Amino acid sequence: MAISNTRPLVGIIKQLQQPILIKRFFNHRLSLEHKLIQSTCRNFAEKELKPVANHLDKTAVFPKQKIQQLGKMGYLAMGTHPDYDGMGLDSLAIAIAVEELSRGCASTGVIVSIHNCLFANLINKRGTTEQKLKYLKPFAKTTLGCFALSEPNAGTNVADLATTARQDGDYWIINGSKSWVSSAHEGEAIIVFANTDKSLNHKGITAFIVDRNTPGVILGLKENLMGIRALTSCNVTFEVVRVHKENVLGDIGEGFKIAMKQLDQARIGIAAQALGIAQAALECAVHYSLHKTAFEKPIAHLSSVQNRLSEMAISLDAARLLVWRAALEYDAGARSSKYTSMGKVSASRCANFVADNCIQIMGGMGLATEFPAERHYRDARVTKIYGGVTDIQKTVIAQELIKEYQKKS
């Protein structure tokens, strides 16, 4: 593979780290509060995340300092009620914040997303007053929480959990293993889903809040990931872990329902992360095409490049509309699974499409690690997997669509 005339372009790298103003189609539709969140997170991404994103990716170091900064700004408790030191924001605000943060660093964006959507917001909605005082207030600023649902042999089929919990007086004893638990090495508490009655299938699953330092909680080695490398993810094993009955989240046997409802919001967060990656890749491609010359003019003037840029922009704005609609539908309290799945499918597909075209526009330089394009490409790939693989999301969309038509007929 011949890559020619690459070194003179390395000077563009610093320029790629500078903000580029690409007009957003529907900024005028946002409330003042949403615009303020967008502006604040965009500035944070520009000043705090972009300069260190490549280093975090290469070293696979958890962005502890940046997460602490965001926590002090309130972004670890976006959906948490103000009574528990939260901001009390809606899902659209969370989506906007996660997109802007992911535009600077996809790993940081998804850490914020997972903590808010799968831990804090769940306890905020379903926790008792005592649970909120213990696991929301202290977690609103600098402490992270985790969500443990997937298992080595139970990913897509959540109802087939092998982790069990049996009651022993005032305690529940949990045994089993969970996989892909994000921020487990940094978090202080884990929401764990376990089978309390296997004979009831999915109706026998219950959610528990487990302190990470509880005896019997064993953290596995951190996975060496292809993308979002600053996010830590590992297996967590539970060996005779005793959890007091006060740490049951929701009702006994309600765990599956709780998980499915919360994953709807989690998909909005993952979709928003995908939007941020796509936005960053689009800006990278536009900026590069304005500085790289061919035939004595910037390649941005070539019709082939313009066609790619236009398709990238169309895909991004269309996906953003779907994600924002999903957030609004979710907060409206209606059955939102179809819309959250649509948003995630569209945004993850967009992120991969835009990142791929960014590299194609940049040619050989798109493969160079000095530029962010190849990082965006790697970061985008996982958005089709976690939070529910694309294949399953399409099934959900189809099933919901069929139900709607059956009701009408």
CATH number of the domain to which 150 belongs: 2.40.110.10
Residue 7 falls inside a structural domain: no
Q: Residues 241, 293: one domain? A: no
When divided into structural domains, the chain yields a total of 3
Question: Are residues 282 and 234 in contact, defined by beta-carbon separation less than 8 angstroms?
Answer: no
Predicted TM-score (pTM) of the model is: 0.92
Q: How far apart are CA 200 and CA 222, in angstroms?
A: 34
| Cβ-contact 76, 68 below 8 angstroms | no
CATH number of the domain that 398 lies in? 1.20.140.10
In a domain, 12, yes or no: no
Q: Are residues 282 and 386 in the same domain?
A: yes
pLDDT (tens place) for every residue of the chain, 409 residues total: 344 444 344 444 444 444 443 344 344 478 999 999 999 999 999 999 999 999 999 999 999 999 999 999 999 999 999 999 999 999 999 999 999 999 999 999 999 999 999 999 999 999 999 999 999 998 998 899 999 999 988 766 777 899 999 999 999 999 999 999 999 999 999 999 999 999 999 999 999 999 999 999 999 999 999 999 999 999 999 999 999 999 999 999 999 999 999 999 999 999 999 999 999 999 999 999 999 999 999 999 999 999 999 999 999 999 999 999 999 999 998 778 999 999 999 999 999 999 999 999 999 999 999 999 999 999 999 999 999 999 999 999 999 999 999 988 7
Verify that 219 and 274 share a domain, yes or no.
no
pLDDT at 155: 65
Note whether 72 and 207 are same-domain residues.
no
Q: Which of 149, 90, 194 is nearest to 388 (CA)?
A: 149
Task: Give domain status of residue 50, yes or no.
Answer: yes
Among 254, 269, 296, the domain boundary falls at 254
Are 89 and 206 within one domain? no
> Do residues 48 and 106 share a domain?
yes
Which residue stretches of 292-372 are H helix?
303-331, 337-362
Instruction: Decide which of 254, 270, 304 is a domain's last residue.
Output: 254
For residue 117, what is the domain's CATH number?
1.10.540.10
For the CA atoms of 158, 159, 165, 170, what is the dihedral angle to 10 degrees?
100
Same domain, 278 and 237: no
What pLDDT does 160 receive?
Answer: 81
How is residue 54 written in tokens?
Answer: 């490549």
Looking at the structure, do residues 278 and 367 belong to the same domain, yes or no? yes
d(CA 305, CA 384): 26
Is residue 16, in this structure, part of any structural domain at all?
no
SS (H, E, C) 4-43: CCCHHHHHHHHHHCCCCCCCCCCHHHCCHHHHHHHHHHHH
Could you tell me if 261 and 248 lie in one domain? Answer: no
Asked if residue 363 and residue 398 are part of one domain, the reply reads yes
Burial of 325 (C-beta count, 10 Å sphere; 0-12/13-18/19+): middle
Residue 332: inside a domain: yes
CA distance 357 to 346: 16
Nearest to 278 by CA among 359, 227, 352: 352
Residue range of the domain that includes 283: 257-408
Judge if 161 and 118 occupy the same domain: no
pLDDT at 9 (0 to 100): 46
- 310 and 242 inside one domain: no
- Domain-embedded: residue 377: yes
Closest to 50 measured CA to CA, from 106, 111, 9:
106
Tell me how crowded residue 130 is: count the other CB atoms within 10 A of its CB.
10
Question: Is 278 domain-assigned?
Answer: yes
With respect to residue 316, please indicate whether it lies within any of the assigned structural domains. yes
Q: Which of 254, 275, 309 is the last residue of a domain?
A: 254
